[in-house]
Amino acid sequence: MDFKDSTPEAAFRAKCRAWLEANAERKQRVDELYGRGLGQAEMVEASRAWQACKAHAGFGAITWDKALGGLGGTPMQEMIYREEEGQFLVPRNAFAVSLGMVIPALAAHGSDAQRARFVEPALYGRELWCQLLSEPDAGSDLGMVRTRAERCTDGRDGWLLKGQKVWTTYAQFADFGMVLARTDPDKPKFDGLTCFYVDMHAAGVEVRPIRQASGEAEFNEVFLNEVFVPDTQRIGEVCAGWKVTMTALMSERLSIGGVIPPGLWQRGLALMREAPGFDGAPAIEDGRMRERLAELYMNTQGLWLMQARALTALGRGEAPGPELSVAKIVGARTLQDFAYLAFDLKGQQSMVTSELLGDSWSNVEDLWFGAAGMRIAGGTDEIVKNSVGERVLGLPGEPRTDKGIPFRELS
Amino acid sequence: MNFDFSDEQKQLREALRRFMSKEVTRSLVRMAIDDAGAGQAAWRALGEMGASTMMLPENCGGHGLGALELCLLAEEAGRVLAPLPWLATLGLSAQALLISADEAAQQLWLPRIAAGEASTFAAPLDGQTGELPCFDGQRLTGCSSLVLDGHTATFAVVLARDAHGGECLVVCDLDASVSRTALPVHDAVLPCSRLDFYGTAATRLSCDAGRVLLGVRERAAVFSAFEQLGAADGALAMAVAYARERRAFGRPIGAYQGIKHKLADVYTLNEMARVHCYYAAWALAADAPELGCAAAAARIAATDALSYAAQENIQTHGGMGYTWDMDCQLFYKHARASAVLLGGRHLWSEALVRSLEQTAGE
C-alpha cells in the first residue's frame, strides 16, 4: 500500500503542472474563485475559451479514446489533472455535461456522420451541449418521460417533438441538446423511448431559466413546441433511447471525484482559530467545536480515501467497488455541515451576503446551496439508498406496479 | 496510487475467512460464555497457519508476515466474533515488546508467542489511571485489576510502579504465584481477569513506559478497528439475510424503505470505516507520521460503524433480535466492550483533533 504517484504518474503530474503554470494563474488561497463578478454568460464564454486551450494542449478529454481526439489516459490521470487544475484560477466548467455525458453516449450509439460532425467541436469548446432528460412528471422516475416524438405525416422524413423538459443545465447557452422522447406509448415505459438531438436555436425550442434557491439560474425549463427534427438527428435505434440515456448517465458516474473541495477541514480549523468562542477564547478551544472538526476531517478524508480506492481498482484493471455509490450522500451532507459550521462561526454577520463579505464567503454560500441541490441531482439520496439496498445488499425490490404495462395505461 | 491490499494479502484474507467460518463461527463465542478455554484449540490451529508470528522479527520466529496481515486477521476474527487471544497476544503484549526495543527481552519472550503461546498486556488501556502492582526490582506484588485474556495468557507485560514510585514495564511468567480471577463481563469476545501477584519473578523492560503505553494503544486502536469493521460487516450480513427472509404485510421486510434505507445507512458507515481502517493500516505498516491521526480516525469510524450495525441488527430482527438465542445480542455486547477497551470515543476524537492541529501547524 502507498499513495505515491508511480513514475509515469509523477511525470504526467509534472507535465500538467508545467502546462498550467504557463497558461493559468495560480490561486493565492484555496477558496479563491475565478472571475468574481462575471455574469453567467461571460463565465460560459470563458469556459469555452479554456476548454479550447486545454484541447489544443491535449488535456481536453483525458480519458477519451484517441480515436475520438482524447488523450487515451487513465482515470488516475484525469484525477491528477483535476488535482493540479484545482490549484489554479480557471473558469467554472460548463462542459461537464457535454464531454462527460452527451458526447460519450453519442459516440457509442450515434452514426459515423454524427460522430464526425459533433465530437470535435464539443471537445474544442466551440459547441456546448445540454441534456434534455427530466420533466415535471419524470424526475427520479425518469422512465415516465412524456415528451412525444411523432413521425411526420406531411411527407418529411422526420419527427415532431412536443413536450416540456426541466432542470436542464446550461440550456440557455447550449448549442445543441440531446432529447429523450417517447416514440411508442403502447410499449412499457422504458421500451418506447428514443433519443434525438435538437439545435437549441431551432424553431419551437423555448428556454426559460429557473431561478434557483440561491438566486442563480443554471437550470432551465425547455419547451419543445412541435420542433421538427429530421430522422438523421436520431441517436441510436428507434425505441433504444433508454440504453443511450444509460450510457450517458453511467459515463457521469465514472467521472468520479471532484465532489469535495480540497483543504476543507483545514479551512474549518482556520475558521475555528479565528472565531471567538466562550469568554473570549478562540472557538477551537471549545470541545463541541473540536468534535465538529473531527467529523469534518473524518468525512472529507473518508471520501478522498474512497476515491483513492476506486482509482487503485481502476489502475489494476478492476471495476471500482460499489461503495462509491454512497459517496454522493456523504459528500452532500459533509458540505452542508461545513456550511452550517461556517455560518455558526461567523455569527450574525453571515446574515449578510457575499456581496459584502467577499470571495471566501461566496464559496461558503455556493457549498450551502450546492449541497442541498447535490442531494437531489443525479439520483436523490432516497433513490441512491434504494439502489444500494437492492443492488449492493441484495434486498428485494420496491413494489413496481408499472412493470410490463403499456405507458399509455400508466397515470 | 496503490491503496488496497495486495493479491497475496487478499488470498490470506480468504484463507482466514474460510478458517473462521469452519473452525470458529459464532457458536464458539457462545461456548466461551461458560468456558474461558473454549478458544484454545482454534488459537492453536490458527498458530499453525502462521498467525502467531505476525509482525515478529525473523530472529524471534517471524516469517515476514507484517502489520497488514495482522489487520486482516483482526477483520476476519471480528466477522465471527472470535473469542481468541489474538489482540492481547499479538496486538498488545507483542507490540509492547516490539516498541520497547529491548532486544534481550524480545529474544526471550517473542519466540514463545511465535510458538503459539497466548500472552497479555496488564495495563489500563483506556487512558484512565488504575491501581498498579509494585515492582521491587525483582518481584511483582499487588494487582492488575482488569486484564484482557488474563485467564489464558502464559506470560504478561505488566505496567507496574517501581521502588521510586515511577511507572515501569516488566515481563513475567504467569506462574503459580499469580492468582487469576475471571471477571463477570458482558462480552465473551473480550474476556477479562483480575491478576493478583504474590512475589512473582519479573524482569524490567528497558524502555520509557509512558511512551510504550501510548504506542501500544495507538497500534491496538488500528487492530481493534479492523476487528470492529469485520464485526460490523458480520452484523450487517445477519440483518440483510433476515430482511430478505422475514415477511410482513405480504412482502419481505427488506422491500420496505424503512428497513432498506436503514441497512443502506449501515453499509455507508461500514464503508467509511473501511477506508479509514485501510488508511491506518497503511500508516502503521509504513511507520508514517500520519499514524496518530489515522489510528484515531479508524478507531472512531469503526466504533461508530459497529455500534450502529449492532443496534440496528437487533431492530431489524424485531422481537427475535432481543432474545438470548439470536446472535444479535453478541454483536450488541461486543460493540460496547470494544468501544471502551482502549478508551471512550471522546478521547480518540480529542486525539484526532490534536493531530490535526499539529499537521496544520500554527
Clarify whether residues B170 and B223 are in a common domain: no
Chain B residues closer than 8 Å to A296 by CB: none
Domain A256-379 homologous superfamily, CATH: Butyryl-CoA Dehydrogenase, subunit A, domain 3 (1.20.140.10)
- Distance between CA A190 and CA A183 in Å, rounded? 11
- Nearest-CA distance B258 → chain A (Å): 11
Chain B residue with minimal CA distance to A329? B268
Which of A209-213, A261-265, B322-326 has the largest mean confidence?
A: B322-326
Clarify whether residues B201 and B267 are in a common domain: no
In a domain, B83, yes or no: yes
In a domain, B46, yes or no: yes
Q: CB A290 to CB B349 under 8 A?
A: yes
Clarify whether residues B98 and B169 are in a common domain: no
Lowest mean pLDDT among A160-174, A256-270, A317-331, B20-34: A256-270
Clarify whether residues B227 and B335 are in a common domain: yes
Among B114, B131, B154, give the residue marking a domain's end. B114
Task: Report yes or no: B231 and B335 within 8 Å, Cβ to Cβ.
Answer: yes
Confidence class of residue A306 from pLDDT cuts 50, 70 and 90?
very high
Clarify whether residues B355 and B284 are in a common domain: yes
In a domain, B307, yes or no: yes
Clarify whether residues B337 and B235 are in a common domain: yes
- Nearest-CA distance B160 → chain A (Å): 33
Question: Inter-axis angle of helices B209-245 and B67-79, to 10 degrees?
Answer: 40
A to B CB pairs, distance under 8 Å:
147
Comparison of pLDDT for B362 and A95, the residue scoring more: A95
pLDDT value for B361:
86
In a domain, B1, yes or no: no
pLDDT value for A359:
77
- The CATH number of residue B42's host domain is 1.10.540.10
- Distance between CA B159 and CA B53 in Å, rounded? 24
Report the domain count for chain B: 3
Q: What is the CATH number of domain A129-251?
A: 2.40.110.10
In a domain, B142, yes or no: yes
H or E segment and range at residue A178: strand A176-182
pLDDT at A38 > cutoff 70: yes
Q: How far apart are the first and last CA of chain B?
A: 30
- Nearest-CA distance B65 → chain A (Å): 15
Clarify whether residues B41 and B143 are in a common domain: no
In a domain, B59, yes or no: yes
pLDDT digits over A371-405, tens only? Answer: 998 899 888 999 999 999 999 999 999 888 888 89
Q: CB B261 to CB A385 under 8 A?
A: yes
Domain of residue B337: give its range.
214-360
Q: CB B272 to CB A301 under 8 A?
A: no
- Distance between CA B83 and CA B38 in Å, rounded? 8
A326 in B contact zone (CB under 8 Å): yes
* Closest by Cβ to A298, choosing from B3, B255, B301: B301
Q: Which 8-state DSSP code applies to residue A106?
A: H
Q: CB B267 to CB A388 under 8 A?
A: yes
Clarify whether residues B50 and B167 are in a common domain: no
Q: CB A293 to CB B5 under 8 A?
A: no
- Distance between CA A67 and CA A46 in Å, rounded? 27
Clarify whether residues B164 and B225 are in a common domain: no
Return the residue in B260, B304, B354 with the most chain A beta carbons within 10 A, the one to mutate for interface testing.
B260
Q: CB B282 to CB A3 under 8 A?
A: yes
A235 in B contact zone (CB under 8 Å): no
pLDDT value for A253:
56
Of B92, B192, B88, B178, the closest CA to residue B142 belongs to B178
Q: CB B2 to CB A3 under 8 A?
A: yes
pLDDT value for A228:
97
In a domain, B18, yes or no: yes
Q: CB A311 to CB B275 under 8 A?
A: no
Tens-digit pLDDT profile for chain B (362 aa)? 899 999 999 999 999 999 999 999 999 999 999 988 899 999 999 999 999 999 999 999 999 899 999 999 999 999 999 999 999 999 999 999 999 999 999 999 999 999 999 999 999 999 888 889 999 999 999 999 999 999 999 999 999 999 999 999 999 999 999 999 999 999 999 999 999 999 999 999 999 999 999 999 999 999 999 999 999 999 999 999 999 999 999 999 999 999 999 999 999 999 999 999 999 999 999 999 999 999 999 999 999 999 999 999 999 999 999 999 999 999 999 999 999 999 999 999 999 999 999 999 86
Placement of cell 484560477 in the chain: A89
pLDDT value for A379:
85
Classify strands A193-199 and A220-230 as parallel, antiparallel or unpaired: unpaired
pLDDT digits over A100-131, tens only? Answer: 999 999 999 999 999 999 999 999 999 999 99
- Nearest-CA distance B264 → chain A (Å): 6
- The CATH number of residue B224's host domain is 1.20.140.10
Clarify whether residues B157 and B266 are in a common domain: no
- Distance between CA B1 and CA B15 in Å, rounded? 26
Among B114, B146, B176, give the residue marking a domain's end. B114
Clarify whether residues B219 and B348 are in a common domain: yes
pLDDT at A258 > cutoff 60: no
Clarify whether residues B223 and B194 are in a common domain: no
In a domain, B2, yes or no: no
Confidence class of residue A216 from pLDDT cuts 50, 70 and 90?
confident
- Nearest-CA distance A317 → chain B (Å): 12
Chain B residues closer than 8 Å to A390 by CB: 260
